[in-house]
């Protein structure tokens, strides 16, 4: 049961002073940790209704262009549902742990994401060791020596992943396929029974999804192959691109550092300094359930998505100049992709594939 906490007056911490402990930083955000079950349920139901409507349009719309637009939008709505599941997996969506586990699994179904495997990989590993090489595994940059030791094919894949065009393939291959969907012994974090059954759950959902496509398409005189492409394949690829891109821009930036030494990492206040707050013109922040207010989320995973904007604003007010805030533009994104390729962990700088320091942009 949540208790209301009044907002206390706190003086901003000047940039030259040491950061307070994480416990103190989290205490600043206590008034924003109250969860609202009714609001949470409403968000999930509305997003699911829109998702099903878009999938139906992607299969049955009267012309190809409308079907393609609906297909892309349905991929985007998979991302919105995933963000809800992500919140539930953090136990921040409602005040009820069992309900969060149920809602999280439901919200994860369209993205075919096994809940328990995501919980370990994201909550424990990524949040527990953000940007620490050897522990965190999402978008951790390689060293020059590691890159040089790769095969020509693997080098080409790495270049594509970090070209700005490859987040969809990076997430789909390196995260979803290798670590989430029935991972092999090398990539599986243990032998919990839930890992298997959550994989079965999303597989059953995928089968029902494809059967529905097979039943709907003939009724609207649409070829089965075309319907599967617009009603399943494109939405799934778009979703993978959306999550791959989001995690990339959250942590890869000219001002963000990575670490390969745990003591050095811990001393750097990683719960504040290893994330980017990417800003957009309205209404894009709300359209992504405010997941881009990412510093506040990494500082305290218990803040629900519907309170993240307020939490991020308060954090930036009290820590002026400490948080990396980046206005999004397509130009910036591709300049950043060109800058963030390999990493020199000793000198804390991004380097190019030939080992030379990346040029400022």
Angstrom CA distances, 159 to 77, 121, 133, 150, 341, stand at 29, 24, 19, 12, 8
Cβ atoms 267, 95 nearer than 8 A = no
Please give the residue range of the domain that contains residue 332: 33-351
Helix ranges (DSSP H) in 61-121: 64-89, 97-108, 115-118
Report the relative pairing of strands 276-279 and 324-327 from DSSP bridges.
parallel
Cis omega before residue 283 (within 30°)? yes
Domain count, the chain: 1
Does 183 map to a domain? yes
* pLDDT of the chain, 361 residues: tens digit per residue: 444 555 566 778 877 788 888 888 888 888 777 888 999 999 999 999 999 999 999 999 999 999 999 999 999 999 999 999 999 999 999 999 999 999 999 999 999 999 999 999 999 999 999 999 999 999 999 999 999 999 999 999 999 999 999 999 999 999 999 999 999 998 988 889 999 999 999 999 999 999 999 999 999 999 999 999 999 999 999 999 999 999 999 999 999 999 999 999 999 889 888 999 999 887 777 888 889 999 999 999 989 998 999 999 999 998 988 899 999 999 999 999 999 999 999 999 999 999 999 987 7
DSSP state, 109?
G
Cβ neighbourhood burial of 213 (10 Å; 0-12, 13-18, 19+): buried
Task: Please tell me the predicted confidence (pLDDT) of residue 116.
Answer: 97
Q: Which helix (H) or strand (E) holds 222?
A: none
Nearest to 201 by CA among 72, 307, 111, 97: 111
Does 121 map to a domain? yes
3-state secondary structure of 207: helix
3-state secondary structure of 59: helix
For residues 225 and 91, give the distance between their C-alpha atoms in angstroms, rounded to a whole number: 39
DSSP state, 259?
B
Report the relative pairing of strands 342-344 and 349-351 from DSSP bridges.
antiparallel
111-166 confidence digits (pLDDT tens): 999 999 999 999 999 999 999 999 999 999 999 999 999 999 999 999 999 999 99
The verdict on pTM exceeding 0.85 is yes
274-306 confidence digits (pLDDT tens): 999 999 887 777 888 889 999 999 999 989 998
Question: Residues in the chain, how many?
Answer: 361
Nearest to 277 by CA among 324, 241, 342: 324
Cβ neighbourhood burial of 178 (10 Å; 0-12, 13-18, 19+): middle
DSSP state, 181?
S
What sign does the dihedral 76-91-112-168 (CA atoms) show? positive
Does 78 map to a domain? yes
Task: Please tell me the predicted confidence (pLDDT) of residue 336.
Answer: 96
Does 283 map to a domain? yes
Give a three-class secondary structure readout of 295-333. HHHHHCCCCCHHHHHHHHHHHHHHCCCCCEEEECCHHHH
Does 299 map to a domain? yes
* Both structure tokens of 104: 């999280």
Q: Which helix (H) or strand (E) holds 277?
A: strand 276-279
């Amino acid at each position: 049961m949540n208790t209301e906490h009044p907002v206390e007056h706190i003086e901003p911490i000047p940039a030259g002073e040491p950061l307070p402990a994480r416990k103190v930083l989290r205490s600043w955000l206590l008034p924003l940790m109250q969860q609202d079950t009714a609001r949470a349920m409403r968000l999930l139901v509305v997003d699911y209704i829109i998702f099903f409507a878009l999938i139906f349009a992607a299969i049955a719309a009267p012309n190809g262009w409308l079907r393609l637009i609906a297909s892309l939008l349905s991929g985007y709505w998979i991302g919105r549902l995933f963000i809800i599941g992500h919140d539930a997996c953090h136990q921040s969506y409602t005040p009820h742990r069992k309900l969060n586990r149920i809602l999280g699994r439901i919200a994860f179904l369209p993205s075919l994401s096994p809940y328990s495997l995501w919980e370990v990989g994201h909550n424990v590993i990524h949040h527990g060791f953000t940007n620490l090489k050897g522990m965190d595994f999402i978008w951790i940059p390689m060293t020059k020596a590691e890159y040089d030791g790769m095969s020509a094919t693997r080098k080409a894949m790495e270049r594509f992943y970090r070209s700005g065009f490859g987040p969809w393939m990076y997430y789909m291959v390196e995260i979803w396929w290798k670590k989430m969907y029935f991972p092999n012994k090398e990539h599986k974090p243990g032998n919990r029974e839930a890992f298997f059954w959550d994989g079965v759950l999303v597989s059953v959902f995928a089968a029902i999804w494809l059967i529905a496509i097979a039943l709907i398409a003939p009724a609207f005189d649409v070829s089965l192959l075309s319907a599967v492409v617009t009603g399943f394949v494109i939405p799934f690829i778009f979703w993978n691109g959306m999550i791959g891109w989001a995690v990339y821009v959250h942590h890869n930036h000219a001002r963000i550092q990575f670490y390969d030494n745990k003591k050095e990492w811990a001393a750097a206040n990683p719960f504040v300094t290893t994330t980017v707050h990417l800003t957009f013109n309205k209404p894009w922040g709300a359209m992504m359930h405010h997941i881009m207010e990412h510093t506040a989320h990494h500082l305290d995973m218990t803040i629900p998505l519907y309170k993240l904007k307020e939490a991020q604003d308060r954090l930036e007010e009290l820590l002026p100049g400490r948080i990396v805030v980046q206005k999004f533009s397509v130009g910036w994104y591709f300049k950043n992709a060109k800058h963030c390729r390999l990493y020199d962990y000793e000198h804390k700088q991004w380097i190019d594939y030939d080992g030379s320091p990346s040029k400022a942009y």
